[in-house]
């Protein structure tokens, strides 16, 4: 799942970079270095990751809490030996999973952000 999330974030970052090629060219022409421009895109991508983690946690934890308290998912007791689907909530595991997802997705985004160093100001501004 983290690999799929990382690939989706890489695609989103590439789309963000390709949509802003002219802006990158203008920033480079004004004297901004590649590192500061890369930081802008990495901060923007981190915001998207945090937003996705937030809503994923809200939806996922809501379903888990509803199952924990109301037991709306029932099972066949002859097959599974329980009448409802059991759930276990470990906040430490959830926190570690979120931190690991954030870290791995962010690390996967560093390599595609090097595309910014290949953009030449003269060619990107010419097509504006």
pLDDT in tens, 2-61: 788 788 888 988 898 889 999 999 999 999 999 999 999 889 888 988 999 999 999 999
For residue 84, the cross-strand partners are: 74
Q: Please state the pTM of the whole predicted model.
A: 0.82
Q: Any idea what the Cα angle at residue 10 is, between residues 54 and 91, rounded to 5°?
A: 30
- At 90 the pLDDT is 94
Phi then psi for residue 75, to 5 deg, are: -125, 160
- Tell which residue, 96, 75, 93, has the closest CA to residue 84: 75
What is the four-CA torsion angle of 61, 66, 68, 73, rounded to 10 degrees? -110
Q: Where would I find the H helices in 20-118?
A: 21-29, 34-70, 77-80, 91-110
The per-residue pLDDT of the chain, averaged, comes to 90
């Amino acid at each position: 799942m983290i690999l799929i999330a990382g690939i989706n974030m890489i695609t989103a970052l590439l789309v963000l970079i390709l949509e802003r090629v002219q802006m990158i060219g203008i920033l480079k022409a004004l004297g901004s270095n590649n590192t500061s421009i890369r930081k802008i895109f990495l901060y923007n991508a981190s915001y998207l990751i945090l937003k996705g983690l937030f809503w994923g946690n809200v939806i996922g934890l809501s379903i888990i809490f509803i199952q924990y308290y109301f037991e709306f998912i029932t099972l066949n007791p002859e097959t599974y030996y329980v009448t409802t689907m059991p759930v276990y909530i470990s906040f430490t595991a959830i926190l570690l999973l979120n931190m690991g997802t954030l870290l791995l997705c962010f690390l996967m985004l560093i390599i595609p952000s090097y595309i910014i160093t290949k953009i030449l100001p003269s060619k990107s501004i010419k097509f504006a």
